[in-house]
Amino acid sequence: MPRPRPLIIGHRGAPGYRPEHSRSSYDLALATGADAVEPDVVVSRDGVLMVRHENEISGTTDVADRPEYADRRTTRTIDGEELTGWFTEDFTADELCGLHCRERLPKLRPASAAFDDREPVLRLRDVLDLVRNAARAQGRPIGVVVEIKHATYFAGLGWDIAGLLGEELRAAGWDDAKLPLIIESFESTVLADLRRSGIRADLIYLLEAEGKPFDLVAGLGADAPDYRDTVTPAGLDALVGRVDGISVDKRMILAPDALGRPTGPAPFVADAHARGLRVFTWTARPENAFLLARFRRHGGKAAFGDYQGEWRVLADAEVDGVFVDHTDLGVAFFHGG
């Protein structure tokens, strides 16, 4: 029986080759066969959903080099972590769109960094329109996986991200279920808000390998469950009817031992499937820096290791979707070319 073909999701576009969340990153992901692309969304000062990995933007834009914004450098506590830099909530959408995208990992991906400062920051609406146009041009369904960032933090500033997202999806014509739409978050409370709103999308609960979800920490303190509690049989039972699936750090599936050798696939993937839940994993990357020790090769952190060996464990788990930075490699491996 042939192995199921997982969705190949362009993680912030194709950031193995272009600065993440840039127009060219998305264009490349779509051109190389991605089934969907993943924009992360944060909020501007005027309530526009912007596409950035985090609301602190000094590492992914040229904001630190813009003298007109020097006085907006500040320190904030985001999900319990103190950060100093420039934050999207201090800029209007037009100001953010006047900034330029930069490679987040320039030492690891210098070829991508060569494209720095060429392209503006995007709104979510830009990506929604881009994907729809690509689906029409290519004659195939292409989806969007919207990741909501820091919902509890933004709620504390007065923003209802679920409401903002619903409005944006309706305005962009993405509420008709004609193209695949998935919404994900590390915070289950915002997913519950989306479920109640009636938005037609698959809701996916993101899980870290360690730690606790911030929304539950904010509400329950020390009694908040760990992310790992969610993949126990009882934890998965509790998700049925609340979300459509989970998306996990790949290390949870690989289950490495102390020497960096995989012992997986971990059994929770089959347990989730038995309960009708989809399972995605993030992020499949080829560079040594991101591989388990067992799969690293000579050449330094930026060199490609035996990524096929690591990815084979993920394929054997029969996951439903894989987030990749190099969409061409992901399509070639998981779809067999």
Query: Closest Cα partner for 23 from 134, 105, 147, 145?
Result: 134
What pLDDT score was predicted for residue 336? 85
- Spell out the per-residue pLDDT of the chain, length 337, in tens: 455 799 999 999 999 999 999 999 999 999 999 999 999 999 999 999 999 999 999 999 999 999 999 999 999 999 999 999 999 999 999 999 999 999 999 999 999 999 999 999 999 999 999 999 999 999 999 999 999 999 999 999 999 999 999 999 999 999 888 899 999 999 999 999 999 998 999 999 999 999 999 999 999 999 999 999 999 999 999 999 999 999 999 999 999 999 999 999 999 999 999 999 999 999 999 999 999 999 999 999 999 999 999 999 999 999 999 999 999 999 999 998 4
Residues 6+ apart with CB under 8 A from 310: 250, 254, 262, 284, 291, 292, 294, 295
Give residue 327's pLDDT.
98
Fold of 7-56+121-334: TIM Barrel (3.20.20)
Give the C-alpha separation, 41 to 21, whole Å: 10
Query: What is the Cα 263 distance to its own chain's centre?
Result: 25
CA 115, CA 151: separation in Å to the nearest integer? 31
DSSP 295: G
Q: Which residue has the tokens 């490495």?
A: 256
Domain boundaries, the chain: 7-56+121-334
* Helices 124-138 & 161-171 angle (0-180, nearest 10): 40
Phi, psi of 140 (to 5 degrees): -150, 155
Contacts of 298 (CB under 8 A, 6+ apart): none
Residue 177: the pLDDT is 83
Contact 45, 91 (CB under 8 A): yes
Per the CB < 8 A criterion, the answer to whether 179 and 144 are in contact is: yes
pLDDT given at position 337 = 45
| H/E element, 248 | strand 245-249
How many C-beta atoms lie closer than 10 Å to residue 268's C-beta?
A: 25
**What pLDDT score does 3 carry?**
57
Quickly count: other Cβ atoms within 10 Å of residue 154's Cβ. 23
Q: Which residues of 104-125 are buried (b: 16+ CB within 10 A; e: fewer)?
A: bbeebbeebbebbeebebbbbb
Give dist(CA 166, CA 160) in Å, integer: 10
Cis previous bond, 265, omega within 30: yes
* pTM for the predicted model, two decimal places: 0.96
Strands (E), 61-133: 74-78, 81-85
